[in-house]
Structure 1
Amino acid sequence: MTGLTIHAYSDALAPAFHDINAQWIGAMYRLEQTDRDVLEHPFERIIAPGGDILFVEAAGLGIVGACALQRTGQDQYELTKMGVLDTARGRGAGAFLLDAVIARATAMGARRLYLLSNTKSATAIRLYEKAGFRHDAGIMAEFGARYERCNVAMLYPLAAAAQ
């Protein structure tokens, strides 16, 4: 995908992480306390406990997307807070970022990579399915209560790929 570049987390990019995610969450849902905690304190909530945040830059537009890998256990990560600005939709930035985040999770030694979503986010769910995520009742039972809006839980087949 031409014109797209991945950037690692830096304190200078923390405001972009907040703004990109606050935009899409606020447009479709209500910002919950858990959202605010992560968006307002990304280093403390994501980076310091062993996670990561990646950003996608589109040529001529700047940083247009972000996605976090939140460590939730040994070798276990939640793919969370993935958003792309409205102004950059349709350029492949979401798929480019998702591929980079999956590769980063693999490089970090993830054995379990999952995400939580909502059926209202149909475009995102299709993107996750296309990347290989599968709907998973076990993930829903274990983590689904984390967000009021969660009615979709998906698991990426990392363990099968690593064997």
Structure 2
Amino acid sequence: MHDFAIRPIQPEDDTAMAAVIRAVMPEFGATGSGFAINDPEVDWMSRAYAQPRHAYFVLERGGHVLGGAGVAPLAGGDAGTCELRKMYFLPEARGLGAGAAMMARCLDAARDLGFARCYLETLTGMDAAMRLYERSGFKRICGPQGATGHGGCDVFYSLEL
């Protein structure tokens, strides 16, 4: 039994989730244009993911939001492909099995939303994240797909759902 909960994001989680993203991104050198840290969606995640075929979940422990992840249609991609988006956890949430639990929740949501594939982009150096992706069945692919606007990402994965 885990001592954390994964639940759909609520409007009252927006400030905490924005703080998580803005704390974690610089830890991996993900600053400047082309990264989520500058994405205006970060400040209103609950509204952004309330759209059709979107889902975002937060990781909560002891009443505090410690991370999150979501899925949404891949911008510029085909209708059967979603993107795993904005998966970030504060250091105190790491090593608890939360990443695997969050990944399972997001992939279940993607299937429920009718997607056939899940795509993601990440950065060299995010080694623990890449191990999680590969354990979850994602395969590394040669280059980017869609039009995500994540110009700083340099590692790409895809998973057949």
TM over 0.5: yes
Provide the residue aligned with 1:40 in structure 2.
Answer: 43
Deviation at 1:66, TM superposition (A): 0.3
Q: Do 2:68 and 2:102's aligned partners in 1 also have CA atoms closer than 8 Å?
A: yes
Q: Alignment length, in residue pairs?
A: 155
CA-atom RMSD, angstroms? 2.1
More helix by share: 1
Q: Which has the higher contact order (CA 8 A, sep 6+)?
A: 2
Q: Post-superposition shift, 1:49?
A: 5.0
Q: Please say if residues 71 and 84 of structure 2, whose CA atoms lie closer than 8 Å, have aligned partners that are also in contact.
A: yes
2:31 aligns with 30
Cα deviation, residue 110, structure 1: 0.9
In the alignment, structure 2 segments of 5+ residues that lack a partner are none
Go from structure 1 to structure 2 and tell me whether the alpha carbon gap of 1:57 and 1:44 turns closer, same or farther (over 3 Å shift): closer
Match of 2:160 among 151, 157, 160: 157
Within-5 A mapping of 1:116-135: 116-135=121-140
Question: Which stretch shifts more, 97-106 or 142-151?
Answer: 142-151
2:137 aligned partner, one-letter code:
G
1:145 CA drift (Å): 7.0
Displacement over 6 Å in runs of 4+: none
- Paired-residue identity, %: 23
- Return the alpha-carbon distance in structure 1 between the equivalents of residues 63 and 51 of structure 2: 29
CA contact (8 A) 1:22 1:31 kept: no
- Give me the TM-score of the superposition, normalised by structure 1: 0.83
